[in-house]
Amino acid sequence: MELQEILDIFLTNDNFTILTHKSPDGDTLGSGFALCSFLRDMGKHANVLNSDQLPSRYAFLFEGYRPQEFEEKYVVAVDIADPNLIGSNLLQYQQQGAVDLCIDHHISNKNFADKTYVDGDASAAAMIIYEIIKLSGRPISDHIAKCLYTGVATDTGCFKYENTTPKTHIIAAELMAYNIDFANINREMFDVKSRGRMQVEQTVISRMKYYFEGRCSMIVLTKQLMAQCGVDQSEFDGLASIPLCVEGVDIGITVKERHTDYYKISVRTTDKLNAAEFCQQFGGGGHIRAAGCEIQGTLEQVEKQLLDGAAKLFEV
Amino acid sequence: MELQEILDIFLTNDNFTILTHKSPDGDTLGSGFALCSFLRDMGKHANVLNSDQLPSRYAFLFEGYRPQEFEEKYVVAVDIADPNLIGSNLLQYQQQGAVDLCIDHHISNKNFADKTYVDGDASAAAMIIYEIIKLSGRPISDHIAKCLYTGVATDTGCFKYENTTPKTHIIAAELMAYNIDFANINREMFDVKSRGRMQVEQTVISRMKYYFEGRCSMIVLTKQLMAQCGVDQSEFDGLASIPLCVEGVDIGITVKERHTDYYKISVRTTDKLNAAEFCQQFGGGGHIRAAGCEIQGTLEQVEKQLLDGAAKLFEV
């Protein structure tokens, strides 16, 4: 598919439903609401749907947004690699043939839509939406620019991660020509944390353990500890990067109790070790620097297995 | 001064000493070593000097660097706004007439050099160095690109802060065309912390206090607390941004004991409050979102004064 073909779809159809993925992030919401604004600005009807409640930290992306009433005629999924990610409250869209077009940047995309456009080189789905809108030659509103910048910035860790490309920076530069308070967006997206999250991070850092002369660090989240913190369960998401933030650590392991004697393990490594290889020892897998696995047993057994597995990495 | 004039200076002179500022950061070192490489690549003699020991986290900027022996003929200061920032181990360069050329991006530059080039719109001094090198038409080595990227990234909080401009992103895009492991650089610069620093942050977060329905937060660093942590004093630098990282907080205050009954106050605010105005109440000042002051008295008295001052901000 060419971008022009997608643009033609938007120009010649109407009554769009835009699907964004469950547990929404800045890229799916930024892409979805940018596309919705673009379509509405052209006089088309369009709504954005999500299976979950939209987190308030993204409220600036949908400020003033009101759902429109119309008979749905065209369904577009943005940033959704797998129909399961549409979520349990939008089951009807998970059926074969329910999605007309999917615009995505995950090469793992399951090709579940009638038409699929995947650009694996795009750092964010928002970059593809930007190119479509640019191709149209139509004006880009400040709101659209804000949505797209947020998508690009959040999916690249503010241009920090490996998936950032020269094009990512060029697009950021172009979006900054609009009236977007990017510094405030970045502060909200990257710096601000809830009090509960601050407390959780403080707790795990104070209990972090170090092994192999500080090259391996581990945090353990038992159900008991999580209950003691007295904060929302979601505050315990995305902690896996913390153990690797300590100077000298090459493998950071996060152990999270799922059920009694059943633990989910998240592993992050520097370029010196292979996280996927480590997790394969326990039937898991993933990427070179980020992988996971699940292990059954008592906490002591699980920790011992993980440390035995880590020992193999450090053997020469 | 035009950039061409600076380039001509580099082309027609030799035996350069490049001064970087004390307590060196990524921008002064990135700019300094990039300029040094540029000059040496042209067959010129050049050294980089710093008053302090260079922090090991910046080692990749001067890997393989060896001082050259030559009779110094031209002195260039980079990213140095004030002769005092040259540092106590390089006192001879603080004298009138000692510095031939200063290249800087601080509009507060004291004009202490014979010639001064200040571009207040440049997010980093490294952006100016990049433009000079580009103007020369000479090849940019991977090492030069790495140094310049580091300068630009570190001075903008990885393109997060207000001082980031479209040009900053364009230059980042251009530098990424070289073989620079920017993701690793960013990890080292922004994510990795020493164990001591992790402990310090954990300590201050656990002791953070909230006022005015959570809109004001305060951390207090007494000499006793800092001694208890048992870590290097430098680990207590740059903590002032932490109190403002809590959701809902509009003014974050950091109180640091200097001597008995003498406290240094750092204040950070969101766009809802004025930090400089707050600090002016206590004879201090600064920028709208980052300011400071000093207050004498017992800790209780100082805290009370600060909270009384904050109360005024929250009054309508």
Select from B177, B193, B270 the Cβ nearest to the Cβ of A245. Answer: B193
Q: What's the whole-number mean pLDDT along residues B86-101?
A: 96
pLDDT in tens, A168-217: 999 999 999 999 999 999 999 999 999 999 999 999 999 999 999 999 99
Select from A165, A193, A246 the Cβ nearest to the Cβ of B193. Answer: A246
| pLDDT, position B316 | 62
Instruction: Return the higher-pLDDT residue of B228 and B29.
Output: B29
Grade residue A71 by pLDDT with cuts at 50, 70 and 90: very high
* Closest listed residue to residue A149, CA positions, set A112, A123, A121, A118: A123
Q: Do A158 and B159 touch (CB under 8 A)?
A: yes
Q: A290: which strand partners?
A: A268
Q: What's the whole-number mean pLDDT along residues B119-128?
A: 97
Dihedral sign for Cα atoms in the order B120, B121, B123, B125: negative
* Closest listed residue to residue A306, CA positions, set A272, A271, A264, A249: A264
Domain annotation for chain A: domains and CATH numbers: 3-190 (3.90.1640.10), 195-313 (3.10.310.30)
* Contacting residues for B182 by C-beta, under 8 A, at least 6 apart: A164, B149, B153, B175, B176
**How many Å separate Cα B93 from the centre of its chain?**
21
* Contacting residues for B43 by C-beta, under 8 A, at least 6 apart: none
Q: Which of A70-79, A251-260, B231-240 has the lowest mean pLDDT?
A: B231-240
Say yes or no to pLDDT of B78 above 70. Answer: yes
Lookup: tokens for A208: 């972090």
**How many Å separate Cα A147 from the centre of its chain?**
15
DSSP 8-state class, residue B66:
-
| pLDDT, position B238 | 85
Q: How far is A268 from chain B, CA to nearest CA, in Å?
A: 13
Q: What's the whole-number mean pLDDT along residues B216-240?
A: 91
Which residue in the block uniquely carries the two structure tokens 């909080």? B157
Q: Do A173 and B166 touch (CB under 8 A)?
A: yes
| pLDDT, position B19 | 98
* Inter-residue contact A141 to A41 (CB < 8 Å): yes
pLDDT in tens, A215-262: 999 999 999 999 988 888 888 888 999 999 999 999 999 999 999 999
Residue B9 DSSP SS3:
helix
Which residue in the block uniquely carries the two structure tokens 């007295």? A230
* Inter-residue contact A158 to A190 (CB < 8 Å): yes
| pLDDT, position B308 | 97
* Inter-residue contact B85 to B25 (CB < 8 Å): no
| pLDDT, position A232 | 84
Q: Collect all residues of chain B within an 8 Å Cβ-Cβ radius of residue A186.
A: 160-161
Mean pLDDT value across chain B: 95
| pLDDT, position B14 | 98
| pLDDT, position A315 | 83
| pLDDT, position B287 | 87
Grade residue B234 by pLDDT with cuts at 50, 70 and 90: confident
Say yes or no to pLDDT of B165 above 80. Answer: yes
Strand duo B46-49 + B74-78: pairing:
unpaired
Q: How many CB atoms lie within 10 A of CB B102?
A: 25
Dihedral sign for Cα atoms in the order A250, A256, A260, A262: negative
- Cα–Cα distance for residue pair B217/A146, rounded to 1 Å: 29
- Cα–Cα distance for residue pair B219/B206, rounded to 1 Å: 9
The four Cα atoms B157, B187, A205, A250 give a dihedral, to 10 degrees, of: -170
- Which of B190, B198, B209, B249 to probe by mutation at the A interface, max A CB count within 10 Å? B198
Strand duo A290-296 + A74-78: pairing:
unpaired
Lookup: tokens for A237: 């998401």
Grade residue A47 by pLDDT with cuts at 50, 70 and 90: very high
Q: How far is B30 from chain A, CA to nearest CA, in Å?
A: 18
Burial class (CB in 10 A: 0-12, 13-18, 19+), A278: buried
pLDDT in tens, B13-56: 999 999 999 999 999 999 999 999 999 999 999 999 999 999 98
Q: What angle do CA A35, A37, A38 make, to 5 degrees?
A: 65
pLDDT in tens, A125-146: 999 999 999 999 999 999 999 9
Grade residue B141 by pLDDT with cuts at 50, 70 and 90: very high
Select from B161, B169, B208 the Cβ nearest to the Cβ of A173. Answer: B169
| pLDDT, position B237 | 85
| pLDDT, position B239 | 93
Which residue in the block uniquely carries the two structure tokens 């050259």? B68
pLDDT in tens, A267-303: 999 989 999 999 999 999 988 999 999 999 999 999 9
Lookup: tokens for B187: 């990890």
* Inter-residue contact B86 to B19 (CB < 8 Å): yes
Q: Collect all residues of chain B within an 8 Å Cβ-Cβ radius of residue A247.
A: 192-195
- Cα–Cα distance for residue pair B100/B104, rounded to 1 Å: 13
Say yes or no to pLDDT of A316 above 70. Answer: no
Instruction: Return the higher-pLDDT residue of A16 and A1.
Output: A16
Size of interface A-B (CB pairs under 8 A): 118
Which residue in the block uniquely carries the two structure tokens 């307590």? B23
Which residue in the block uniquely carries the two structure tokens 């922090």? B55
- Which of A60, A155, A158, A163 to probe by mutation at the B interface, max B CB count within 10 Å? A158
Q: Do B158 and A161 touch (CB under 8 A)?
A: no
